[in-house]
Structure formats: C-alpha cells, structure tokens
Structure 1
Amino acid sequence: MPLIAGIAFSGLTANSPIFTTVLSTSDASFVQSSSSTLGDDLSSTAKSLFTSEPAFIKLALPSYLDRETRKPILQAFKQANLVFPSFSETIQLAHISLTTKDHAPRNEIIFHLSPTLAIGRLVSTSVEEGIRESTTLKEITFDSPSPDTDAIIAEFIDLAQATLDGTKVERIIVIDASVATTEVTSSSWNGHQTYRESPVELVKIGFGSVALQAAKSALASYQSALDYPGSHNVALARIGIVNADGFVHDFIPKHAVFPQPRCSATFTTSKDDQTEARVSVVIGESRRGEENLCVGQVVLRGLPKKAKGGLVIRVMVEVDEEGDISVTAEEAESGVSEKTVVRKLLGEHHVDELEEVLEKFKVDEVRAEAEVGNGNALPE
C-alpha cells in the first residue's frame, strides 16, 4: 500500500509547527494526520515524520522562498533518504482547498500567519465560459510581523483597496498555525469603515488543512504518473559518469524514455598503485563533470595495486520505469564490485536543482574539445 504525504510548514525557524497528512494509494478512507515542531536539523526532523517511507511527498512552503532558499530543504530530504519532494505554496494550496468547493468570482485576501512572518496576497478571481482564473494583484511579506493579527490585516487591506481602485475585497482567508486562538474575528472586520455596508466574509484555515490539500495534490500527481507514465518518465538531460579527466562519459541521452536497458562501458585506473576508483553519476548538458548535477557515487575500494591503466573496470547503468538508476562498477581481475541505486533521479522532483545547473553552466563544446585528458580512466 504505497503512501503519499503532504507536509505544511508554518515557518522555517526552530520550533515552528509542522503538520503532516498521509494518504493511501489503494484505500480512499485512509487518512493519517499528525503535528510536530521543526528541530534544529531539518534532515532529522524530516526523517522523524514517517514510520514508513512515502512514495511521493509534497511540501507546502511560504511563497517568498526562491530556488536558492528552497535548496537546503531539498538537501535535507536527500540526507534523510526520503523520496525527493515537490513544492507548492502554502497560500496556493489553501486557496485551492476552498475553491474546489466554491468557484464564485471575487476579490479576496489570503494571509499566511506564523510567529516569525506574515504574508498577504490579494487575489482576483474571474470565471469566463466555465473557466476559473485567479490572478495575484499584490503580495507583501512582513518579516517581523506585529503580534496583533488585526493590525497586520489592517495594514495590508488598505494597500489592497488602493490596488483595486474602487472594487472591494469580498473575502479574507487566514491561514494560521493556531486558528483556535487567533484574534481575527468577523465582527472586527465588518466594523472596518470599508465594509459597514457590505460585510466581508472571513474564513480561517489551519495548517492541518493545508497539509491535507498537499497530500491530495501529491496523490493526484502520483496517480497521473501511473496512468500516463510517458509524461513523467523521460530524461530531462543527459545522464553520465565523470572520467578522471573531469569530462563526462554519456550513458543515457537527453529525452530518453524509461525504462532503459542496461548499458556498459570499460574504464581503467588513472594512476599507479590506485587502490580506489570513484564513479560519479551526473545529470546535465555540459561535458565538464563539475558543471552538472551530481546525484550519486560508487566507490570501489581494495583494488589490487598495478601500474596506471593496469586494471579493467566495467561500469553498468540501467534505468527502470520509475526513473530509478542502478549503477554497478566491477573490477575484472579481483572481482571487487559495488552498486548504488539513485532513486527518482528525474521527473518533477529534480527540476528545481536541475534547472539551476542548466542555467548556471552553459555547454561550451569548443572549450571542452580543446582540453586533452584521460578519457577512459576513473579517478581515485
């Protein structure tokens, strides 16, 4: 019974509440919810959230996070040996959880509140020919918010009204880690001078509900991948290993459809008396190994000492239909071998990191071909 998880972070500082919901791919009635707090080490916290490893995880994160600030979170899940998560905004998931039940067009403000930050987003929703479209008109992050929730909302709602130029906010949605104790009440906002004649609707959502929506979204993605495997299981970039000269030996080409049958290549040692050989698995487009995303390694230890090039090492790479990559390295004479499996190497889980690598390093074939190196040897 593969499990699917949604995790909502109220904040990213120590002791911030975390809410987790786990669903089953085979039992629609299975819903397991829990809450905890973020420890000093995110990797240890992530590992402690589950008794059984989920097959798919979606995180609900603050909207102000960019690619660089999301990277440590992804790394923490790698270190915890969990499946790499996908990301969604907390505000977006909260909005979806409401609009799946209510499709009416309106202007609304959504607040993500936590002890260390507050985010306000003004959203305008329209419905044309049965198609609902939501547009963000304004967003502000309060880094050190006032403890007075009403004051935060008052500050943003005045900015929102100026942006709307005459039309009114019809609904305020508050996402709060402690909804039961929030000071925001319908009466306080219906007393605001803007709403005395047309009261605003107030909806309060807890992070537990956001975690549930994240899990539902993750379950839909997982089932879509099963129903349409070709749409997810395609190599987004070339997969290879790094030679001793620092260049990449190609194994799986870009856009290859999984599964891919086993392919192999033979290498030698690059130094005299080399007792270790390292196979680094990378994904990217550059011929230089360092300009790609390294996703795994195999290290052969205890090799017999011989002159440079005296050992023959066979490296075999195979990709299954799930995108898991098996890499095996074996030294022919001694029989020393090692294997590693890089799970969920491709697909949407790695897009964030891979896009960063592809943007940062551009392929320079002229420069690469001008370099001379040890193209058939493995580094120590």
Structure 2
Amino acid sequence: MAGGRTDAGGVLLDTAALSTAATAPAAARAGLDKPFSLYLDLVRIAAACAVVMAHFGYFRIFDDRQIARIADLGREAVIAFFVLSGFVIAYSAEQRKPTLREYVSARCARLYSVALPMLLLAFALAALAAGVLGTQVSDGYQLRKPWLYIPFHLLFLGELWGFVETPPWLLPYWSLNYEAWYYVLFGAVCYLKGRMRLLGAAVFALMGPKLWLLLPLWVSGVFLYRWQKTHRIGLCAARAGWSATLVLLAIWAWYDPEPALRKVALAAWPFSGMRMGSADRVLADYLVGMLVLANFACARHAGFGLLLRAARPIRVLSAHTFILYLSHSIVICACQALITFRRGDPAVLLGLALAIILAAAVLQPFTEVLQRRLRR
C-alpha cells in the first residue's frame, strides 16, 4: 500500500515515476500514459481514505450503527496498494533502468523517510501516554525495550515466519513488513547477475509462509504492467469492464464473504505452531486482487482524459497518501489517550478527520526533505 510518492501501503507507490510518463517519449509511454497514471493516483487517494475509514471502525470511533452501515474496505484498499506497487516498480525498472545501487537507494530513501520518523513518533507518544497518563497501550511491552524493537521494525521483520509484531500505535505498519521484502526480492531477481542471483532464493526462504502467500498479489502488478503494454481492450469493452468491477466490489462489500473465507484459510493452514497473522485473509485477498487487476486493465484503455483537467490537485493529494496511511493511527490513538468523547458524534468525527488531515499536511514536507537527504 506504494523516489516520489508512495503506494501506501503502502504500500509505497512511486508517483514521481508515474508523473514522468506525461513528458516521456511516446515509446516510453506505451505502458503508462498520463490519464492512466492520474487514475492510479486517484485509486491511491481513495484507498488511503478507505483505510482511515476502516480504522474509525476498528478503534471504535464510529458507533455500532455506523459500523454496521459503512462498508469496511480497508483490507481491500491494501490489496489495491500491493498490486499498484508491483505495477509501478516494474514500470520504474523498465523505463528508468536504474542500477542496483540506484534501486536500493531509491527504495530505502522512500521507505525510511516516512517509516523512521513515524516509528520514532509512535514510540515516543505511546511511551508518554503510558507513563504520564496511564493509558493502556496495545503492544506496550515493546515500549520497555525500544533499543530492541525499533531496530526490529526498521528491518521490517514483523511478519517473517512466526513473528506477528506491529509497533505501538502504528497498526498499518504490518503491510510495510510485506512491501519492503517484496522490494528486496524484486531487486535480487532483476539486478543481480550470475551466482549472485542465488541470493534471491535466500531472500525468498527468509520471508516465510505468510509473505509467500501474499506475494502473488504484488507480482500480479508486475505482470499486469507487462501484459497491458502489448494488449489492448476496446473503448466500450474497457468502460463496461471497469464499471463491472466497481459493481462487483460493491456486491462484495455488501455480502462480505471474507469472514467465511478466513475460516477456510485458517482450517487449511498447515503450520499449527505458527499464527497466520495478517495473511489469514488470503483467500479473500486473491479474489479482491483479481477485481483490482481487471479494474486496472480496463481503466488503462477506458479513456479517462477528463482527469487531465484536475491533474494538479490529484498529484498534490496523492503526494500525501503514504504519510496519511501511517500517521492517521497515531493521531487516533493520541486523541483517544487525551480526550474522552462520545462514539459516533458528528463533531468528533469531523474534528478527528481534520486532525488527521492537518497532521499529514504538516508532516509531508518534512518527509520529502528527509527523503532527499537519505538519497544523498
């Protein structure tokens, strides 16, 4: 959820790579034109907002009636981020042709420019709330050993094999534990030569079963990028297919088959001594991933030229999706620690939404400066 911007996820999506499609030669734009890149940015904005809405339910900001009425599409949004990430990394690798050194520099700078300050901020605020206010902090045991857990999370080890660890007040961080290792695997496969490519097998083995399960979703974005360069869908068929995917997503949200599919996945999980953790929704994830792939494939040829009129605000908003994705849970947890409010109160919902937006707007310039320095 995924240089430039994020997938969010990111899920960390390189929007700078997308925006260059508008000025690149026609041959380079064969796989990604500007209307489609703007559409992907809109998807990222919508997906980030869906995650925030889902956590309004998870953290019990919504009341029970609102939770029942408002579709929870947070997980579906993360799956869209995974597919987006694979797509854009494939685009960047082909069009920019970076060296291994440049690839590693760009990925690390983009990840750590947001993950590092958000991780330090989450630990600091959670420790302050626990120590001064006596707040009960989920995963608070980590606060007693920051010297161990902060490096642990900076290496994105929280979902490898038997680990199921999320930083305090940073619930969305779980997806970065997948995303970062998919970046490493892609770099090993695409940039290493000769016997050094065996490191790719070592990375794959290190990732463990949970990351293996969701890897096809990320890789599907890579294959979609390559497929849509050489295949075309007619305008009417593309628009009909795009509309159909939205209808199917609405039906999915209405009937919500995910809990039943989760039970099937848990029953089939062969590692009795290892929790599935965030991979327990894998069967639903695959179905949603197919909808996302179909939506993107159709959107590529659906003729969304009208988006060009709103290019600037779309780009500006999409630039904030990664910081919004990570920071909103810190804002929610901090507000819950400081203020007692009535669940579902419209004033509370509006105030919290504004606080989340303000935090993202304030933090975004700082992360951009940090990213440039990390690249250097």
Which bin holds the TM-score, normalised by the shorter protein?
under 0.3
Specify which structure has the higher proportion of helix: 2
* TM-score (norm: length of structure 1): 0.23
TM-score of the superposed pair, with normalisation by structure 2? 0.23
Using CA pairs under 8 Å that are at least 6 residues apart, name the structure with larger relative contact order, 1 or 2: 2
* More strand, by proportion: 1
Bigger radius of gyration among the two: 1
